[in-house]
Amino acid sequence: MNRISLGTPLTSDVVEKLRIGQQVSLNGIIYTGRDAAHKKLIELIEQRKELPFELKGQVIYYVGPSPARPGRVIGSAGPTTSGRMDRYAPKLYALGLKATIGKGRRAPEVIKAMQQYKGVYLAAVGGAAALIARSVKAAEVIAFPELGPEAVYRLIVENFPAIVVNDTLGGDLYDESIRVYSAYCRNAWQNRHC
C-alpha cells in the first residue's frame, strides 16, 4: 500500500479523503501534548485566553518525549495512550484541530466529534519510539515548560509515519480488524482450517 504524504496544517478537504487503514507520512509542524497540557489548554479556552498555537488545521501528537542525547533533536518519542485525552478532544476538534496521533481506541464521543468537525485519529506504532524520533527534525518547547517532558512542543517532522484509525465517516480500524478476523475464523472453522 502506498503511503500518503500529508503537509501540515491539514485542511478539511484533505482530511475528508482519508480512510481507515491508510498509511500516511506527515510533513511540517505538529504539536505535542499529554493530559496535563490538555487540561491547561482547556482552561485557557474556558478563560477565553490566547492559546500557545492556533488550533485550526493542526495535529497534536500524544507524546512526552525523553531528553535528547547529544547530537539528537529529541529523545525517544513513542505515542502514549490516547484515551487519557478523550475528555478534552471533542472541544479541540470543535475549535479546528484536524488530527491527533497516539495509540489505542478513542471514546465514542471523540469519534462523533471527528465526524462532526471533520477530523481524524492516527496511530503511531508503539515500541518504535526511536524510529519515530528520526522523523523529528526540530523540537522546541512553546508552552507549559514547568511540565517537563509533558510540555507542549512544536515539532518539525519529515515523513512521520502513522495509520488512519478513525476517519470522518466514523470508520474505526480496530472494529474493522475485529470484524475481518472474526469472519476469517468463522470461514476457517467451517472449512476445518482453524
C-beta separation of 14 from 63 below 8 A: no
C-beta separation of 121 from 114 below 8 A: yes
169-190: per-residue pLDDT in tens?
999 988 776 665 555 555 655 6
CA-based nearest residue to 89, from 51, 64, 120: 120
Which residues have a Cβ under 8 Å from the Cβ of 114 and sit 6 or more positions away? 93, 106, 120, 121, 166, 167, 168, 170
Element (H, E) at 173: helix 173-190
Q: Is 38 a catalytic residue?
A: yes
Q: Identify the band that residue 72 occupies on the pLDDT scale cut at 50, 70 and 90.
A: confident
Q: Identify the band that residue 164 occupies on the pLDDT scale cut at 50, 70 and 90.
A: very high
Q: Identify the band that residue 127 occupies on the pLDDT scale cut at 50, 70 and 90.
A: low
CA 29/CA 27 separation, integer angstroms: 7
- pLDDT at position 66 is 83
C-beta separation of 53 from 31 below 8 A: yes
Residue from 34, 38, 105, 106 carrying the catalytic annotation: 38
CATH topology of domain 4-190: fumarase (3.20.130)
147-163: per-residue pLDDT in tens?
998 999 999 999 999 99
Question: Side-chain half-sphere of 92: how many Cα atoms within 13 Å?
Answer: 32
Domain boundaries, the chain: 4-190
Helix segments in 17-125, DSSP class H: 35-46, 89-94, 108-117
C-beta separation of 24 from 122 below 8 A: yes
22-55: per-residue pLDDT in tens?
999 999 999 999 999 999 999 999 999 999 999 9
Q: Please tell me which residue, 3 or 181, carries the higher pLDDT value.
A: 3
